[in-house]
């Protein structure tokens, strides 16, 4: 048996190009699936972490569901937008509601300070002053902005930790002016790392008053999101019922009609996300299965060519006493080794991909789950056996004289 | 020159009772009305036509005959690569196949492989070495299939290579060797398992006359050291090395005669 391995490896090494082409399919298949898996897992985990930090008394109201499936979008889009006045209304009126914050954010922006600037990847969040208490954010330095700043549309900004590190490595930022686009903002505070609601890490964000946001980023209009905090965890249900009732009245929803907004807790988001993750996982598995089967057919194809190419070799081996089973094993082991090497390279590249992904997407740690590694090897062995068997049998069954005579 | 001297054949001489009246040696191979017929559609090709033949231990036989007369077919059947369509083939004291009796007796593929491995050494016209393997690995091949452990293999391979004067070429691949050297590697591979018989089908067919002579020196030496050798050739001067010369014509034995020049000065009788 060891001899078969030795000779299989030897013959694969002596035919590097053919071997490389054969494993390419497996390699790409494994790489795609495993790196996909690692991203999904990382996403899943970071969602969980964020939600855990929101605390169990938080919930959210927004215009769109967390996930909108294609054609429904129009239906949701007809709903009335949420404004920050809604937030103040709820905070003042609700008995079980302790605080409410409205917020919205832009995509990637560049923040500049003097000749330093960040990459074009910083999220700008416009929020009501209540954001900091609703979110249980803590301030590392300076102050958060307040209702006053909001009323006066002040150009003040609170920096996330990463931005602070990047722009003010050796300087006190308080009172300094940074620029977002062409607008100048005075830094009033720096946040401790805080849990965030969007995919971007909150540390990679700056927060400005919602009114200032509307003025500065008038192009980024639309509905705001509301984050609410119940007085305590025990009255979370009451607080949610109250919020629903108040919003239905305010938005003039007829009795008997469904809500024209979405309300959910952090937990329910996790559930939704998990459902989505499962769908993604099923989809990847399907694609994976198909791509690896295709790769398996590639292995079979190249093994068949290899059997024909090596007909004389097979004849020679049989002439010096190789049993059919020895030839069968020789080719089968070659197929299995090929698929395993493909799996190894695929996993290595998937690992690199997950590292790159972790670097590129802040707040997300992609990480290859162990079961993916094990099943990659298992599945690839299976592919090697299933698709190697036919060529191997063909080789084993060759008649020695015909094989020796083969030109 | 060193050629291996250990021999497996004739270890149980009392088992094979039949004596050859010419040389007094033991029977190694017995063909009893062997035919090999190919049916190509309506056409019937009698590659071997009712051949009866006895080969003795330490025979040195040359087989000659025109192209297509059935020489290779005969060698393949002797070498258990092919099976006759009728007749009885006995190797040492085992029946390889008996196609004549009521119930056909035939060794299965694994038994045949095992005979090829342990009892038969092939030398081919086209060498048939594994192109990407070194001389050492090529010679090692039969030992691997015989299941011999690694350190023992090494010893035997190096000895076989030394016997064909190629000890210094063990790491060369066939493409790095001359035709004569390749054939010597093939001879080393044929004798590494101490077979009962060495079958050489036109071993010098692809070599020039100088190299051919070189190869024949090795085969002569093998015979001198008590090996049984059969060689197929088209060249009369190659055939003249043998002690018994068989001529085949249309699948039949045309002549089977003693080479009196050699027997006059017997090496081994
Ligand atoms: N697989 C086969 N199918 C059909 N006919 C075959 C087959 N193998 C051999 N023959 C026929 O059997 C006959 C004997 O062939 P063989 O190869 O034994 O001849 P040979 O004496 O070795 O010839 P050469 O000197 O050219 O090598 C030929 O007529 C050949 O055509
Ligand atoms: Mg021939």
Please report, for residues A89, A194, A227, B25, B35, the alpha-carbon distance to residue A146 in angstroms, rounded to integers and kept in the order given: 17, 18, 17, 117, 108
One domain for residues A335 and A203: no
Average pLDDT score over residue span B1-28: 49
pLDDT at B136 over 90: yes
One domain for residues A254 and A302: no
- Domains, chain B: 57-80+108-264 (3.40.50.300)
Task: Judge if the beta carbon of residue B67 lies within 6 A of ligand 1.
Answer: yes
Residue-level pLDDT at A11: 74
pLDDT band at B25 (very low <50, low <70, confident <90, very high): low
pLDDT at B46 over 90: yes
One domain for residues A252 and A349: no
pLDDT at B269 over 50: no
One domain for residues A42 and A86: no
One domain for residues A35 and A88: no
Select the residue of A3, A321, A404 nearest B117 (Cβ to Cβ). A321
One domain for residues A276 and A157: no
Residue-level pLDDT at A86: 92
Percent of chain B with pLDDT over 90: 80
One domain for residues A174 and A215: yes
pLDDT at A65 over 90: no
Domain termination site, one of A225, A260, A295: A260
pLDDT at B51 over 60: yes
Residue-level pLDDT at B24: 54
Please indicate, yes or no, if residue A35 is contained in any of the structural domains. Answer: yes
pLDDT digits (tens, 9 = 90+) for B215-225: 999 999 999 99
Chain B interface test: which of A2, A5, A319, A395 (most B C-beta within 10 Å): A319
Domain termination site, one of A218, A237, A260: A260
**Arithmetic mean of pLDDT over chain A:** 84
Chain A interface test: which of B47, B130, B148 (most A C-beta within 10 Å): B130
The yes/no answer to whether this complex scores an ipTM above 0.95 is no
Residue-level pLDDT at B91: 95
pLDDT band at A51 (very low <50, low <70, confident <90, very high): low
B146: nearest CA partner in chain A: A321
Please indicate, yes or no, if residue A176 is contained in any of the structural domains. Answer: yes
Residue-level pLDDT at A197: 45
Domain termination site, one of A260, A283, A300: A260
pLDDT digits (tens, 9 = 90+) for A120-172: 778 888 999 888 888 767 788 888 888 888 889 899 999 988 888 888 988 89
One domain for residues A305 and A340: yes
Residue-level pLDDT at A363: 63
**Arithmetic mean of pLDDT over chain B:** 88
pLDDT band at B21 (very low <50, low <70, confident <90, very high): very low
pLDDT band at A365 (very low <50, low <70, confident <90, very high): confident
Please indicate, yes or no, if residue A69 is contained in any of the structural domains. Answer: no
pLDDT band at A322 (very low <50, low <70, confident <90, very high): very high
pLDDT at A368 over 60: yes
For chains A and B, CB pairs below 8 A equal: 62
Flag the least confident range among A275-289, A293-307, B97-111. A275-289
pLDDT at B239 over 50: yes
Residue-level pLDDT at A194: 59
Residue-level pLDDT at A316: 94
Average pLDDT score over residue span A194-216: 74
Ligand 1: which residue has its CA nearest to atom 7?
A: B38
**Between the ranges A64-73, A100-109, A348-357, B228-237, where is the mean pLDDT highest?**
B228-237
Provide the domain limits for residue A183. Answer: 80-260
Which residues of chain A are within 8 Å of residue B185 when distances are taken between CB atoms?
A: none
pLDDT at A93 over 50: yes
Helices (H) and strands (E) in chain B, counts: 8, 11
Please indicate, yes or no, if residue A121 is contained in any of the structural domains. Answer: yes
Flag the least confident range among A115-124, B83-92, B159-168. A115-124
Task: Judge if the beta carbon of residue B174 lies within 6 A of ligand 1.
Answer: no
Please indicate, yes or no, if residue A58 is contained in any of the structural domains. Answer: no
| Ligand 1 center from residue B46 Cα (angstroms) | 9
Select the residue of A320, A400, A401 nearest B189 (Cβ to Cβ). A320
Please indicate, yes or no, if residue A309 is contained in any of the structural domains. Answer: yes
The alpha-carbon gap from B110 to the nearest alpha carbon of chain A, in Å, equals: 6
CB-proximal residues (5 Å) to ion ligand 2:
B 72
Average pLDDT score over residue span B157-175: 94
Average pLDDT score over residue span B106-131: 94
The alpha-carbon gap from B108 to the nearest alpha carbon of chain A, in Å, equals: 11
Ligand 1: which residue has its CA nearest to atom 29?
A: B68
Residue-level pLDDT at A161: 84
DSSP β-bridge partners for residue A142: A189
Task: Judge if the beta carbon of residue B45 lies within 6 A of ligand 1.
Answer: yes
Flag the least confident range among A168-172, B5-9, B87-91. B5-9
The alpha-carbon gap from B62 to the nearest alpha carbon of chain A, in Å, equals: 21
Tokens read off for A104: 């919205």
One domain for residues A242 and A284: no
Residue-level pLDDT at B10: 37
Which residues of chain B are within 8 Å of residue A400 when distances are taken between CB atoms?
A: 81
**Overall number of domains in chain A:** 2
Average pLDDT score over residue span A254-279: 82
Please indicate, yes or no, if residue A334 is contained in any of the structural domains. Answer: yes
pLDDT band at A116 (very low <50, low <70, confident <90, very high): confident
pLDDT at A274 over 90: no
Average pLDDT score over residue span A359-375: 78
Average pLDDT score over residue span B73-89: 95
One domain for residues A212 and A327: no
Flag the least confident range among A181-185, A243-247, A355-359, A390-394. A355-359
One domain for residues A226 and A166: yes
Residue-level pLDDT at A118: 84
One domain for residues A230 and A378: no
pLDDT band at A69 (very low <50, low <70, confident <90, very high): low
């Amino acid at each position: 048996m060891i001899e078969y391995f030795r000779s299989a490896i030897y013959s694969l090494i002596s035919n590097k190009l053919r071997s490389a082409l054969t494993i390419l399919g497996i390699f790409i298949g494994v790489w795609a699936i495993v790196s996909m898996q690692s991203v999904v897992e990382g996403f899943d985990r970071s969602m969980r972490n964020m939600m855990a930090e929101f605390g169990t008394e938080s919930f959210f109201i927004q215009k769109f569901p967390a996930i909108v499936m294609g054609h429904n979008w129009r239906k949701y889009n007809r709903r009335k937008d949420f404004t920050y006045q809604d937030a103040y209304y709820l905070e003042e009126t609700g008995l079980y509601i302790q605080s409410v914050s409205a917020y919205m954010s832009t995509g990637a922006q560049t923040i500049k300070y003097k000749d330093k600037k960040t990459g074009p990847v910083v999220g700008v969040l416009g929020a009501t002053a209540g954001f900091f208490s609703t979110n249980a954010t803590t301030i590392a330095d300076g102050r958060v902005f307040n209702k006053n700043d909001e009323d006066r549309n002040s150009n003040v900004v609170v920096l996330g930790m990463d931005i602070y590190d990047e722009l003010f490595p050796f300087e006190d930022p308080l009172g300094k002016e940074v620029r977002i686009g062409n607008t100048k903002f005075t830094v009033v505070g720096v946040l401790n790392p805080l849990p965030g609601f969007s995919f971007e890490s909150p540390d990679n964000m700056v927060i400005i008053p919602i009114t200032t946001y509307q003025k500065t980023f008038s192009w980024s209009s639309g509905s705001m999101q509301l984050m609410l905090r119940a007085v305590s965890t025990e009255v979370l249900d009451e607080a949610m019922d109250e919020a629903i009732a108040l919003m239905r009245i305010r938005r003039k929803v007829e009795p008997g009609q469904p809500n024209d907004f979405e309300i959910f807790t952090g937990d329910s988001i996790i559930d939704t996300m998990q459902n989505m993750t499962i769908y993604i996982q099923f989809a990847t598995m399907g694609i994976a299965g198909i791509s690896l089967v295709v790769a398996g057919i590639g292995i079979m194809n190249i093994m068949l060519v290899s059997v024909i190419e090596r007909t004389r070799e097979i004849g020679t081996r049989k002439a010096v006493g190789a049993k059919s089973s020895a030839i069968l094993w020789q080719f089968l082991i070659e197929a299995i080794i090929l698929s395993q090497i493909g799996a190894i390279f695929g996993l290595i590249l998937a690992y690199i991909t997950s590292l790159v992904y972790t670097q590129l997407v802040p707040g997300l740690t992609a990480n290859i789950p162990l079961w993916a590694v094990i099943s990659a090897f298992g599945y690839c062995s299976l592919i090697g056996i299933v698709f190697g068997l036919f060529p191997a049998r063909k080789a084993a069954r060759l008649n020695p004289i015909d094989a020796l005579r083969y030109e | 020159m060193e050629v291996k001297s250990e021999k497996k054949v004739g270890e149980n001489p009392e088992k094979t009772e039949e004596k050859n009246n010419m040389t007094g040696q033991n029977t190694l191979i017995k063909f009893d009305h062997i035919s090999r017929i190919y049916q190509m559609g309506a056409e019937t090709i009698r590659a071997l036509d009712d051949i009866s033949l006895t080969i003795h231990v330490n025979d040195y036989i040359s087989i000659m005959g025109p192209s297509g007369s059935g020489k290779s077919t005969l060698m393949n059947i002797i070498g258990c690569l092919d099976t006759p369509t009728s007749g009885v083939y006995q190797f040492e004291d085992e029946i390889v196949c008996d196609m004549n009796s009521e119930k056909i007796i035939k060794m299965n593929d694994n038994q045949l492989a095992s005979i090829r491995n342990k009892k038969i050494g092939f030398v081919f016209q086209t060498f048939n070495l594994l192109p990407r393997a070194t001389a050492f690995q090529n010679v090692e091949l039969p030992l691997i299939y015989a299941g011999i452990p690694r350190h023992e293999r090494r010893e035997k391979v190096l000895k076989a290579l030394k016997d064909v004067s190629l000890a210094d070429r063990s790491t060369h691949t066939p493409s790095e060797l001359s035709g004569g050297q390749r054939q010597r590697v093939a001879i080393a591979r044929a004798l590494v398992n101490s077979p009962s018989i060495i079958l050489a089908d036109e071993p010098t067919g692809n070599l020039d006359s100088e190299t051919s002579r070189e190869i024949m020196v090795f085969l002569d030496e093998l015979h001198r050291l008590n090996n049984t050798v059969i060689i197929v050739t088209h060249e009369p001067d190659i055939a003249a090395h043998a002690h018994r010369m068989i001529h085949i014509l249309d699948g039949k034995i045309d002549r089977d005669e003693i080479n009196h020049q050699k027997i006059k000065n017997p090496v081994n009788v």
